[in-house]
Amino acid sequence: MTVKLELKNVTKIYGKHKVINDLSLTVEQGEFFVILGPSGTGKSTLLKMMVGIEQPTSGKIFIDGKDVTKLPPNKRNLAMVFQNYALYPNMNVFNNIAFPLRMHHRTNISQRVREVAEKLNISDILGKRVNQISGGQQQRVALARAMVRKPAMFLLDEPLSNLDARVRFSARAELKRIQQELEQTFVFVTHDQKEAEALGDRVAVLNKGEFQQIAPYKELYENPANPWVGDFVGDFPMNLVDGKGFRPEWASVGSGDYSMVVESMESIGDVSFIFGSDSNGEHIVLRAPEKYPIGTTVKYTVNRFKDFGNQP
């Protein structure tokens, strides 16, 4: 397996603000690599440095073993889809998709555009202006424009965040299908856990400019590297008792050595969760087999713990 993208000790400082702090990373060829993190942690900055529209303050970037740190974006042969798609407003859909081909002096432009449009189901809107199409269509046009010249790698910055829930779900599936079909390397930025879980071969959790953990999503969930990851990953923060963490489904409610006072209850699908605090004031979430009135004390047993050792 050839190594496709490497970051070595990359740091980015804006003014006095260190946005990316000494990051190293290797993305393998054909991998769907997800960068997951809260807002403002430097996800977009990282992507911009990979594609070449921002320069790292220090550190190096390699593509296929070649140092591209100083190379302008038009020499890197990467495709990027911005969060807001950045379609060219003065061009129609066809010309938007054709633009990268024209810039690379390709031939057979029309045929290639039609091929890609076919694949993404946008053949019927090629003649439209980009402000006359829906958000979902804009997203597919942006993807088509990225795919059309067969770049070495795709960088996607929260491309699904503008879509409504239903379209987002199908767009996600479609993206995964496309990636498997192209067998291309994708780097995908998101702050949506479900996206990370559904798409990522590996997920890198970024916080305050540093990777907290890089692993498949399941591993992040079951075996977080530190309490912060345990807290951030999952529908609910990982419960913490005696410095050890556990997920709601790792405990059984009814009897046991631990107890908490119920504060609220919520159903997600056919599973109910109860929220409460224990005697130390720690918030606890448990899976509840039955209803518990607010204010009652429930006992529970933890069947499995994640031990963070002496970490903070």
| Interface ranges with ligand ATP (CB under 6 A) | 14, 17, 19, 37, 39-45, 191
Q: How far is the CB of 24 from another protein (least distance, A)?
A: 24
Residues from 2 through 61 that contact another protein (CB under 8 A): 48, 51-53
Q: How far is the CB of 183 from Mg ion (least distance, A)?
A: 27
**Dist CA 50 CA 87 (whole Å):** 20
Residues 6+ apart with CB under 8 A from 199: 32, 34, 172, 175, 176, 179, 188
Q: How far is the CB of 233 from ligand ATP (least distance, A)?
A: 16
Partner interacting with residue 99 (select from ligand ATP, Mg ion, another protein, none; CB below 5-8 Å by kind): another protein
Q: Pick the binder of another protein from 15, 65, 72, 295 (CB under 8 A).
A: 72
Partner interacting with residue 88 (select from Mg ion, another protein, ligand ATP, none; CB below 5-8 Å by kind): another protein
* Among 98-106, 192-200, 210-218, 279-287, the segment contacting another protein (CB under 8 A): 98-106
Q: Pick the binder of Mg ion from 7, 42, 44, 197 (CB under 5 A).
A: 44
Q: How far is the CB of 274 from ligand ATP (least distance, A)?
A: 31
Partner interacting with residue 218 (select from ligand ATP, another protein, Mg ion, none; CB below 5-8 Å by kind): none
Contact letters (x/-) for another protein, 101-120, by CB under 8 A? --xx----------------
Instruction: Give yes or no for residue 89 binding another protein (CB under 8 A).
Output: yes
Q: Pick the binder of another protein from 86, 225, 241, 261 (CB under 8 A).
A: 86
Closest residue to ligand ATP, Cβ-based? 44
Residue 153: Cβ-neighbour burial (10 angstroms; 0-12, 13-18, 19+): buried
Q: How far is the CB of 224 from another protein (least distance, A)?
A: 33
Quick one: three-class SS letters along the chain? CCEEEEEEEEEEEECCEEEEEEEEEEEECCCEEEEECCCCCCHHHHHHHHHCCCCCCEEEEEECCEECCCCCHHHCCEEEECCCCCCCCCCEHHHHHHHHHHHCCCCCHHHHHHHHHHHCCCHHHCCCEHHHCCHHHHHHHHHHHHHCCCCCEEEEECCCCCCCHHHHHHHHHHHHHHHHHHCCEEEEEECCHHHHHHHCCEEEEEECCEEEEEECHHHHHHCCCCHHHHHHCCCCCCEEECCEEECHHHEEEEEEEEEEEEEEEEEECCEEEEEEECCCCCEEEEEECCCCCCCCEEEEEECCCEECCCCC
Instruction: Give yes or no for residue 99 binding another protein (CB under 8 A).
Output: yes
Q: How far is the CB of 39 from Mg ion (least distance, A)?
A: 7
**Dist CA 186 CA 35 (whole Å):** 11
Q: Are strands 202-207 and 185-190 parallel, antiparallel or unpaired?
A: unpaired
Partner interacting with residue 312 (select from another protein, ligand ATP, Mg ion, none; CB below 5-8 Å by kind): none
Q: How far is the CB of 246 from ligand ATP (least distance, A)?
A: 29
Closest to ligand ATP by CB, 55 or 132: 55
Binding stretches for Mg ion (CB under 5 A):
44
Binding stretches for another protein (CB under 8 A):
48, 51-53, 72-74, 78-80, 82-90, 99-100, 103-104, 129-131, 138, 145, 149
